[in-house]
Structure 1
């Protein structure tokens, strides 16, 4: 069995750890990871070059309404194609818009169906990032455990996954080394193809911890570029 943290951020977007640092910990602990930076894949590309590490090619895409979609690919080259063709042209070139693109969520989900990937609704129960029913029916999986949010939201996501009969993913949503591996999936497989297939067959398990309310507030202060925005008079 192998543990894989399916939601990790690096310095390529809003994380504090380099890809090299993340891989060093992952290899030392014999775990896998997916670097799912916000609307960018340089971190994932760099990580996939390390043949001694278990890395799932991935990205976290923000819709025009701030919904977050995780996408996991079997092949880094297909992720590159997806990014260059479908995401890059719709990025918003402003630091206050790191977390979103110009793409509507339904359009993102429609596009993803043309690629060999698994899509997962990231932290769908958080109030400001709530998913509506139609996109939830289209997405492949739901992130039922995200270690950067309180347990009440994860419990809602888990119930949502069960009620809609969706596949399940989990991850730390780590933005620092300290939180890496605080959440993830467990698979009997140890290859990218095997792990993603185990998710498709609903044979993976999810495990991890949730933030307390205080930890969650601190996390938002560190990672959000919206918290201290000064309003123009």
Structure 2
């Protein structure tokens, strides 16, 4: 069965033996989730708030206007993978000071995601957050969503020694740290290019689609095995066989 085909209902319901013998996901034992715009929908706007804080940080650092700061933020993101990496390489910015500042955002509008919480509880597999953001941001966000207890760890940009996805290094590092066999792992991300290195080392990949053209660049690459609109949709259709 090809990875992008629908998996027929196997009649096991929600027991721990919910995957059919011919289901290509049966041997998966680790689920890796990106955080921003992946574990939660982009409509929450959290990443927009983080990016606004990045712009403020750059404005204050260089004493420049907002338009110039946005341009620099975007330039470094495209060139280095993250704005932080560009600031570190070119201006020796303290990464922890930057991360603390940009992730100090208002999350008061974020409600618990009861559906996602219930679905995650039905999957008896290891789950890890794999993010280019900070551990603190992930902890706060997962806490607001009410799902932090489902994840054994948060592998953040600090754990990756500030080398962001899609560089190959953090994928190797997370596998080493958590004793992950890539061939038994599945990765979810909303940025297509971040999934390609995962596939290259044997992981199954899931793209959370959006209307962001930059994020969807490489979306038609054959190394992206599934295309869905949300983590909830994927779990329902491909793990639990709920239509």
Assess same fold via TM > 0.5. Answer: no
Q: Which has the higher contact order (CA 8 A, sep 6+)?
A: 2
Normalised to the residue count of structure 2, the TM-score between the two structures is: 0.36
Say which one has the larger Rg.
2
Q: Which has the higher helix share?
A: 2
Q: Which has the higher strand share?
A: 1
